[in-house]
Structure formats: C-alpha cells, structure tokens
Amino acid sequence: MKGKKIVLGVTGGIAAYKAAELARECIKRGAAVHVIMTRNATEFVTPLTFQTLTGNPVSVDTFQLTGEWEIGHISLAESAHLVLLAPATANVIGKIAGGIADDLLTTTVMATRAPVLICPAMNVNMYSNPIVRENMEKLAAKGVRFVEAGYGELACKTEGYGRLACLEDIMEDAEDILTAKDLVGQHVLVTAGPTREAFDPVRFITNYSTGKMGYAVAVAAKRRGAKVTLVSGPTSLPQPRGIRFVPVSSAREMRDAVMSNLPEASVVVKSAAVADYRPAGFSESKIKKTERPLEFTLERNPDIIAEVGKIKGDRILVGFAVETDNLVGYATKKMKEKNMDLIVANDITQPGAGFAGETNIVKILDREGGSEDLPLMDKMDVAHRILDRVAELVGKREGAARARKR
Ligand code: CTP
C-alpha cells in the first residue's frame, strides 16, 4: 500500500465508526487516504474524526463545492489507486448499480477508472433482498469487487449476514487489488513454521519458528497472482484466505505433503524450520518420571529440500539458512549442495532478525555469486523482495524457453 492513494467512501450506517479504524490501518501501511462521506454518514461519525486521522480534508457534498473544489475532486477520482466503500449501504450500492451520481461519493465512483472495492453493511433482510443481490451481481459483473458482509449480531438486534466484513479481510482484498500481478500462471508451494517431533502422547521436540516469514511469502505470492499451496507446521497464525492450506505436524508429514504437492508447483519456497532429528522411538503411553536421567536417541529426519533439489527439474527452488556464524559461507554451501536457485540467509544473532518478530534482516544469495543485502525490514517486505527475485528468474526461464522454441 506504500505510496498509494485510497479514496475511502463512508456511507450512512452504524458501521461508519469502523471506517475510522480502516482509515488508520491504510495509513499505517503507507497509503494516503482521502475520505468522502455521504450526508447521512456524518450523522454517525463527524468529518473531523477522519480529517484528524488522515491529515486530509474530508469531502461531504457536491453542492457545497466551489468550481475549484469540483475540479479537485475529479482529479481525486483520477489519481486514486483504489476507491474503497466501507460501509456501503443498500442505497449507495443501488445508486451506483443504477448509474446515479447525485452526490460527491457517487460522482467520484462514476468518474474513477481506479478499481472499486465495496464493503456492504446493512440489516440482514436488506442484505438478502433480491434487489440488493441483483445490484451487487450487476456491479460484480462489471469488475467491481465486494468484500461480503459477515455473520453476527446486527445493530437492529437481529442476527445474520449484514455486518461489515472484518478489518483483516477488507485490508487483504485492498492489498490484493493494489499489488501488481507478476506471478500469474505460477504455482508457489511454500512451507512454513516449525515441525513437532513427538516422543509420547503429550510431549514433543520443536523449535522457535512462528511461521511468520513463510506465511508472509505465501500471502505475498497470492497477492501477486500466483496459486499458492501452504504446507504449514503448527503455528498460532490464522489460516490465510485464498490459499490452499495443508496443515502438518512432523517433518515426515511435511515431506509427504511437499512431495504430493510438488508435481503442480513451479516455484518452491522452503521457509519451514524443519527439525533435523526426531526421537528414535515413540511411547504409546505417557512416559512417567523416575529418579534416573531420561535418555533417548535422536535419528535423522528426511532433508526435504535436498530431496526436492534432486528432482526439481525447471522449478525454482528457494531455501532459507538460519545461522549464528559464517552466514554467507554456510548458506552458499547449502544452496549448492541442495541444488537451490536462491537462498535467503538469516543471521539470527542480529537484533530484529529471525524467529518470532515482525521484522527480519536477510541476504539473498544466488547461484551466480550475487548477494543482495537487505536492511531491517518488515517480513512482508522481505517476502516481496524474495518474490521479486523469483519473478526475475521466472522471466529469464520463460525467455530461454521461448528462444529454444524458435
Ligand atoms: N530443510 C529441509 N529439511 C530438513 C532441514 C532443513 O527441507 N530436514 C530446509 C529448510 O526449510 C531450509 C533449508 O533446508 O530452507 C536450510 O535449513 P537449515 O536448518 O538452516 O539447514 P540444514 O541444511 O538443516 O543445515 P544445518 O542444520 O546443519 O545448519
């Protein structure tokens, strides 16, 4: 969302107050937000709220405008990267579907060439009314996107569909629309999170991985137009929408899931922190404590990325190396030995890098000896930088394939 201009249209429903949070979140992610309110919306929330949050003047009604303003608002419609309507009433949806432009918001929607994302919120009976549904279908057929309303208790004390969709879902669809689609046609298989290696029904060996880096890669690839399969060890992260999700627990389960999904993958990103060893035995009943030390042998787990590297064919294989010393040396060795195309090297001793946090500091190493040193970055930004390199490799391979055909 960085550097993008979002026109946020707020209409007159009780969910109007939630639009303030939405505006804040868009700004937090780097967008400039310009709010247009309908007259009825101002009965629920004041323009001052949005003006304070966005730092931009809030527009309310066409008829108040001087000529200069009028031109200003048309230029807003032209310069917007996204027009986001939240909450959108049945009335505004009907007006847009009917081609009516009788206030500033509907005029802007009519005048813009930017994508339009509508988030309806209304009473349950209104939301299921065939006229509203027909209007939504008509707009959807013309390329307008909707974030369907959610289920829950409504302001009118009924329960059902009609609540404004949750903030995360609206933000995800907005991010999706604003992301350039350079991975269309690719199928990205991502592994993420730790594995659990159980030795009795209540205990297991694991590591500190939270899955955040891998989930960021999966979501970023989806936003860039790829089909995505996410094979995930146990994490506490919500399952991302629009992604095939395959939950696993142990390294051996992860291996089987990767191998069965490999045939359709064109890109494999192995960010999971796979346990290299597992307890040699598994006790069916809980191990009871005694006064003696408990000893057990660990045996090797399959090296999943090495197996993929042997049979990868034309697929692009990206691995991660988590190290505490000799970062570039160890990472380069791993990349070559396991036939990866890129390796993301991660020195977890640096503050702000590694497991659990929202940020990472990595170097992206390639087969030609190149090293791209990235500064401290949000994990989503790191994910995009990795995928920039993947998109570059995809382009090169497709170019070479075309040249071979000629
Ligand atoms: N990996 C894997 N299967 C394993 C272990 C690791 O697929 N059993 C993958 C990881 O997902 C990562 C890469 O291999 O992409 C490197 O992981 P890392 O644990 O840093 O390296 P190892 O090769 O296991 O080497 P070492 O533990 O000795 O540093």
Domains of the chain, each with CATH number or no CATH: 5-178 (3.40.50.1950), 187-275+299-405 (3.40.50.10300)
- Measure 320 CA to ligand 1 centroid, in angstroms: 7
**pLDDT grade for 355, boundaries at 50, 70 and 90:** confident
Rounded Cα gap, residues 333 and 314, in angstroms: 21
- The residue whose CA has the least distance to atom 4 of ligand 1 is 303
**pLDDT grade for 159, boundaries at 50, 70 and 90:** confident
- Measure 186 CA to ligand 1 centroid, in angstroms: 24
Q: Ligand 1 pocket test: pick from 320, 332, 333, 364 the residue with the most ligand atoms within 8 Å of its Cβ.
A: 320
- Measure 202 CA to ligand 1 centroid, in angstroms: 26
Which helix H or strand E contains 345, and what residues bound it?
A: strand 342-347
Counting from 1 in the atom list of ligand 1, the atom nearest the Cα of 308 is: 7
**pLDDT grade for 11, boundaries at 50, 70 and 90:** very high
Rounded Cα gap, residues 251 and 301, in angstroms: 7
Instruction: Output the six-digit token pair for 41.
Output: 């919306």
Residue type, 67: G
C-alpha distances out from residue 95 to 100, 105, 110, 153, Å: 5, 11, 10, 27
Ligand 1, pocket residues at CB < 6 Å: 251, 270, 272, 274, 276, 301, 303-305, 319-322, 334
C-alpha distances out from residue 48 to 16, 151, 252, Å: 13, 30, 57
- Measure 183 CA to ligand 1 centroid, in angstroms: 26
The widest CA-to-CA distance across the chain, in whole angstroms, is: 87
Q: What is the pLDDT of residue 350?
A: 82
Torsion sign, CA atoms 106, 110, 111, 114? positive
pLDDT at 377 over 80: yes
- The residue whose CA has the least distance to atom 21 of ligand 1 is 321
Q: Which residues are catalytic?
A: 156
Number of Cβ atoms within 10 Å of the Cβ of 92: 27
**pLDDT grade for 359, boundaries at 50, 70 and 90:** confident
**pLDDT grade for 73, boundaries at 50, 70 and 90:** low
Instruction: Give the gyration radius of the chain's Cα atoms.
Output: 25
Number of Cβ atoms within 10 Å of the Cβ of 380: 18
**pLDDT grade for 351, boundaries at 50, 70 and 90:** confident
Q: Give the E-state strand segments of 89-192 in sequence order.
A: 116-120, 145-146, 150-153, 159-163, 187-192
- The residue whose CA has the least distance to atom 14 of ligand 1 is 305
Average pLDDT taken over every residue of the chain: 93
Choice between 155 and 5, residue whose per-residue pLDDT is larger: 5
pLDDT at 406 over 90: no
Q: Which residues contact 43 (CB under 8 A, 6 or more apart)?
A: 12
- Measure 200 CA to ligand 1 centroid, in angstroms: 25
Beta-bridged to residue 5, according to DSSP, are 32
- The residue whose CA has the least distance to atom 6 of ligand 1 is 274
| Preceding amide of 120 cis, omega within 30 | no
Rounded Cα gap, residues 363 and 386, in angstroms: 10
| DSSP conformation class of 355 | S
For 247-281, what is each residue's pLDDT tens digit? 999 999 999 999 999 999 999 999 999 999 999 99
Choose from 64-68, 73-77, 357-361 the range with maximum mean pLDDT.
Answer: 357-361
What is the mean predicted confidence (pLDDT) over 52-62? 87
Number of Cβ atoms within 10 Å of the Cβ of 305: 25
Rounded Cα gap, residues 281 and 23, in angstroms: 54
